[in-house]
Amino acid sequence: MSPELLIAMLASTAAAATPLVFAAMGELVTERAGVLNLGVEGMMLVGAIAGFAVGLHSGSLLLGYLAAAGAGMAMALIFAVLTLQLQTNQVATGLALTLFGVGLSAFIGKAYTGQPIAAVPHLSLPLLSDLPLLGPLLFRFDVLVYASFALFFAVQWFLTRTRGGLLLRAVGESPAVAHAIGHPVQRVRYAAVLFGGACSGIAGAYLSTALTPMWVEGLSAGRGWIALALVVFATWKPLRVLAGAYLFGGVTVLQLYAQGFGLHIPSEFLSMLPYLATIVVLVLICRDGRTILLNQPASLGKSFHPDA
């Protein structure tokens, strides 16, 4: 295998992994606060079309990404009001959010189908990007790839090294106790859900402005659900989310290059790989019940209302 091919594969792996890092890292924070939001796919799709539309009309991708984060948060807010205020079932509400997001994005997106957009540019630093091997390996990605690593460090640092992170985890483990000590359980959960929404929105925008770059109905193709599976696979730990996302990115890319390697498998079977890999990975991690029991936030998916 030539170094050029290897570098190209690495670049496409990073591109495929980045939206997963964003979406899964956001969901991880939400779940660490004890809230299970199954609406990631829906928030991603709405973020994707918001980012695309605003980016196209304003000509500024930065504005597009802000809009995507905002749209993701707006979706998450619906979820938060329903589950946190009105105590609706988190599983059903998350499903509703996804179904709503699929419908809403398809409806808005109709006018944008097939329109071209200038993709997020790749970095080109005067000296660093031109370094012989390191340049293409480290300094030629688009800015979102670096941002996803920054997000990882920020989440890791927040959860393990700050009071806010400690509070968030306390709320996720035992909201009743956190409430009894006088912590604002609801506010923490709202913030966590909204953060997850913003991350999912950005993940969606990355799909429509960097990975594909265009709008197609349902372009997330289950990535939101894969992100949800990644959080379980990662046993709710940021570093494992990052590693898992790159593992999945690798599987996606493998499928693109498999035919180049002379593998004559129908493309449909190769396209199944990420979904089958998700199932296999879930089985591996869930096989031992203790792994999940020990790591899953204790109140995950359970409603809590301070007045009841």
**258 sits near another protein (criterion: CB under 8 A):** no
- 142 DSSP 8-state letter: B
- 85 DSSP 8-state letter: I
Between CA 204 and CA 73 the distance in angstroms is 12
Binders in 53-92 for another protein, by CB under 8 A: 78, 82, 85-89, 91-92
**100 sits near another protein (criterion: CB under 8 A):** yes
The partner residues of 122 in beta bridges, in order of sequence, read: 142
Rounded (to 5) percent helix, strand, coil in the chain: 75, 0, 25
Applying CB under 8 A, what is the total number of residues that bind another protein? 50
Between CA 93 and CA 87 the distance in angstroms is 10
**Which of 28, 44, 68, 96 touches another protein by CB under 8 A?**
96
H-helix segments, 134-184: 134-138, 143-161, 163-173, 175-181
Residue 139 identity (one-letter amino acid): F
Which residue is listed with tokens 């990644």? 230
Pick between residue 195 and residue 233 the one whose CB is nearest to another protein.
Answer: 233
Give the range of 58-66, 205-213, 246-254, 267-275 binding another protein by CB under 8 A.
Answer: 267-275
**286 sits near another protein (criterion: CB under 8 A):** yes
Q: Is the dihedral of CA 285, 291, 297, 303 positive or negative?
A: positive
Binders in 103-162 for another protein, by CB under 8 A: 103-104, 106-107, 109-110
Binding map of another protein across residues 177-216, x = CB under 8 A, - = no contact:
----------------------------------------
Query: What residue ranges bind another protein (CB under 8 A)?
Result: 38, 78, 82, 85-89, 91-93, 95-97, 99-104, 106-107, 109-110, 217, 221-222, 225-226, 228-229, 232, 266, 268-269, 271-272, 275-276, 278-279, 282-283, 286-287, 289, 292, 305, 307-308
